[in-house]
């Protein structure tokens, strides 16, 4: 594949299997004159194996000729943590007030999913766990319990 | 960008600040830009554009984001309110006439058909899917071009802009029924039918109800050709229903699937179809076959069916 000139890098979150030309996809990609329908069809097809309405992280590379490529990553760590802790949103006062808690087993399970990501494949599980615990701390979520 | 997203941005994009100016820096990429910042090449001066929902406190979000990544001072920023606009229309100007198959053109309604004597399908897609540019639409149109005979009854499951139905009707089919879960598709398909001088009632479109009930009125059965260009999951879940609409010996074609999803589709559809063929285009595939005259439900009998067919 010949290298193409990049015009922009776009980062957004879209629910698996549910890309539509409406916001957030519409303005985010339409602004850069990318083919919305093609993205929606492509993204939805590629996320068929994931439960719908799980928010996926997407990074779109837009080229000067209005074509594009994109990479889909698993949901953000904060999404998993919120689900595990049963929270709607992260804590407003991290470091001072505890908004919720998760167990080390949660952290381990999330780390395993994250390890499949293109980013994290070279990272040892322990490093990923530490990074998840850091995110938890910044959200006001405490990790409680014994490490198995 | 990640920080901005955490603090409420709906999306972020990054581009060269000097876009269009003499100082513009060109960066090239062979494929999608990798996620890791280490490997990512960026411009010397970049502008990050973040989209927020109307009413969000942009200043606060920006301050929290800058703080979280360790920036000592707030980066320069300006807030601009974007008008609600039809983004699909903005992009549509790129839509040009395209010849998807020998002598078969899909033409946007604002263009002149390049070959007036060819089979021209006029489309105004709006928010419904189907301009003829996507590989799956092309695959289905090429398949239809091969199999549609004059007088055929067509079912287009997942009709979108109605492009497949309308093309089939122009190829000589007598009647087409379109189904879609999106109500926008209904008006889009009906409008496109009118753009193509089709008699009213030659294309009838129905919304598939959310509760999963059968969307096709009982008076329509035994279609000669059934096309379904949707997605893997609905294709596999609805295999019984989709093939059920087809008359025995009739033809079924499904797409909206990636090459790696073909085995799953073949497995689901081989129970009902024989002579399964797959066509490919750019990473996408179309699976088609003929409806078996007798569909056996026991595993052993199906095997011997396949041996004999």
> Are the C-beta atoms of residues B137 and B163 closer than 8 Å to each other?
yes
Q: Which of A60, A78, A19, A24 minimizes the C-alpha distance to A43?
A: A19
Most confident of A100-109, B31-40, B260-269: B260-269
Q: Which helix (H) or strand (E) holds B58?
A: helix B58-68
Cα angle B215, B216, B221 (rounded to 5 degrees) comes to 155
Chain A residues with CB under 8 Å of B88 CB are: 21, 26, 30, 36-37
In this prediction, residue B84 carries a pLDDT of 60
Task: List the B153-157 sheet strands across, edge first.
Answer: B203-207, B175-180, B153-157, B223-229, B246-258, B284-291, B273-281
ipTM of the complex: 0.73
Q: Which of A79, A100, A8 minimizes the C-alpha distance to B6?
A: A79
- Dihedral sign from CA coordinates of B202, B256, A33, B59: positive
Q: Which helix (H) or strand (E) holds B77?
A: none
> Are the C-beta atoms of residues B252 and B276 closer than 8 Å to each other?
no
Written as one string, the DSSP assignment of A9-47 is EEEEEEETT---SSTTHHHHHHTTT--HHHHHHHHHHHT
Token pair 């000067």 is at which residue?
Answer: A64
| pLDDT above 90: residue B27 | no
pLDDT tens string B172-221: 999 999 999 888 888 889 999 999 988 888 999 999 887 778 888 888 88
- Maximal CA-CA distance, chain B: 76
Average pLDDT of chain B to the nearest whole number: 80
Nearest CA in chain A to B283: A42
pLDDT tens string B251-308: 999 999 999 999 999 999 999 999 999 999 999 999 999 999 886 664 444 444 444 4
Average the pLDDT over A64-84 and give the result: 81
> Are the C-beta atoms of residues A8 and B13 closer than 8 Å to each other?
yes
Gap from A89 CA to chain B (nearest CA, Å):
11
Beta carbons of A1 and B87 less than 8 Å apart = no
**Cα–Cα distance measured from residue B251 to residue B263, given in angstroms and rounded to the nearest whole number:** 19
CA count, 13 A, side-chain hemisphere, B168: 32
Token pair 């100016």 is at which residue?
Answer: B21
Beta carbons of A48 and B261 less than 8 Å apart = yes
Paired tokens of B189: 């398909």
**Cα–Cα distance measured from residue B207 to residue B205, given in angstroms and rounded to the nearest whole number:** 7
Q: Which of B127, B92, B88 minimizes the C-alpha distance to B109?
A: B92
Average pLDDT of chain A to the nearest whole number: 79
Beta carbons of A31 and B87 less than 8 Å apart = yes
- Domain ranges for chain B, please list them: 2-84, 129-291
| pLDDT above 80: residue B123 | yes
Q: With both helix axes pointing from N to C terminus, report the angle between B163-170 and B135-147 in degrees, rounded to the nearest 10.
A: 30
pLDDT tens string B52-65: 666 667 777 777 76
> Are the C-beta atoms of residues B33 and A9 closer than 8 Å to each other?
yes
Interface test with A, best of B32, B43, B47, B83 (most A CBs within 10 A): B32
Neighbours of B146 (CB within 10 A): 13
**Cα–Cα distance measured from residue A80 to residue A82, given in angstroms and rounded to the nearest whole number:** 5
**What Å distances lie between residue B91 and B74, B85, B95, CA to CA?**
34, 11, 8
| pLDDT above 60: residue B22 | no
The alpha carbon of B190 is separated from its chain's Cα centroid by a whole number of angstroms, namely 18
Token pair 């960066």 is at which residue?
Answer: B27
pLDDT band at A87 (very low <50, low <70, confident <90, very high): confident
**Cα–Cα distance measured from residue A140 to residue A94, given in angstroms and rounded to the nearest whole number:** 4
Question: Which residues are B28's β-sheet partners?
Answer: A5
Gap from B15 CA to chain A (nearest CA, Å):
5
Beta carbons of B131 and A37 less than 8 Å apart = yes
Q: For B129-291, CATH number?
A: 3.40.50.150
**Cα–Cα distance measured from residue B44 to residue B87, given in angstroms and rounded to the nearest whole number:** 30
**Cα–Cα distance measured from residue A11 to residue A120, given in angstroms and rounded to the nearest whole number:** 18
**Cα–Cα distance measured from residue A139 to residue A82, given in angstroms and rounded to the nearest whole number:** 9
In this prediction, residue B6 carries a pLDDT of 58
The three-class DSSP label of residue B250 is strand
Question: What's phi and psi for B5, nearest 5 deg?
Answer: -65, -40
Most confident of B92-101, B104-113, B160-169, B300-309: B160-169
Beta carbons of B12 and A12 less than 8 Å apart = yes
């Amino acid at each position: 594949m010949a290298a193409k000139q990049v015009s922009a890098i776009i980062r957004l979150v879209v629910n698996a299997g549910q890309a539509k030309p409406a916001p957030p996809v519409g303005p985010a990609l339409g602004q850069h004159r990318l083919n919305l329908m093609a993205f929606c069809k492509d993204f939805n097809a590629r996320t068929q194996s994931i439960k719908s309405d799980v928010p996926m992280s997407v990074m779109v590379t837009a080229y000067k000729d209005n074509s594009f490529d994109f990479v889909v990553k698993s949901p953000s760590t904060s999404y998993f943590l919120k689900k595990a802790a049963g929270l709607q949103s992260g804590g407003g006062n991290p470091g001072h007030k505890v908004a919720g808690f998760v167990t080390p087993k949660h952290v381990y399970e999330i780390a395993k999913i994250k390890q499949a990501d293109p980013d994290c494949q070279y990272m040892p599980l322990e490093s990923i766990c530490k990074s998840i615990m850091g995110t938890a701390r910044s959200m006001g979520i405490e990790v409680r319990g014994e490490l198995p | 960008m990640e920080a901005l997203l955490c603090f409420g941005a709906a999306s972020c994009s990054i581009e060269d600040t000097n876009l269009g100016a003499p100082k513009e820096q060109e960066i090239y990429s062979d494929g999608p830009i990798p996620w890791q910042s280490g490997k990512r090449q960026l411009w010397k001066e970049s502008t990050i554009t973040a989209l927020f929902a109307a009413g969000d406190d942009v200043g606060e979000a920006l301050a929290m984001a800058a703080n979280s990544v360790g920036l000592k001072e707030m980066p320069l920023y300006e807030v601009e309110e974007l008008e609600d606009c039809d983004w699909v229309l903005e992009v549509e100007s790129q839509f040009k006439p395209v010849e998807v198959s020998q002598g078969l053109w899909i033409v946007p309604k604002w263009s002149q058909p390049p070959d007036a004597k060819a089979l021209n399908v006029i489309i105004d897609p709006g928010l419904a899917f189907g301009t003829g540019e996507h590989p799956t639409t092309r695959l289905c149109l090429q398949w239809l071009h091969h199999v549609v005979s004059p007088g055929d009854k067509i079912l287009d499951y997942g009709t979108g802009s109605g492009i497949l139905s309308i093309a089939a009707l122009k190829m000589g089919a007598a009647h087409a029924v379109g189904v879609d879960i999106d109500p926008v598709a209904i008006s889009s398909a009906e409008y496109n039918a009118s753009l193509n001088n089709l008699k009213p009632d030659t294309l009838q479109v129905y919304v598939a109800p959310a509760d999963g009930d059968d969307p096709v009125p009982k008076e329509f059965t035994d279609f000669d050709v059934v096309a379904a260009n949707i997605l893997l999951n609905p294709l596999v879940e609805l295999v019984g229903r989709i093939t059920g609409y087809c008359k025995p010996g009739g033809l079924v074609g499904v797409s909206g699937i990636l090459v790696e999803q073909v085995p799953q589709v073949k497995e689901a559809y081989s129970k009902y179809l024989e002579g399964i063929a797959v066509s490919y285009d750019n990473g996408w595939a179309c699976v088609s076959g003929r409806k078996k005259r007798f569909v056996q439900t026991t595993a052993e009998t199906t095997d011997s069916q396949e041996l004999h067919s």
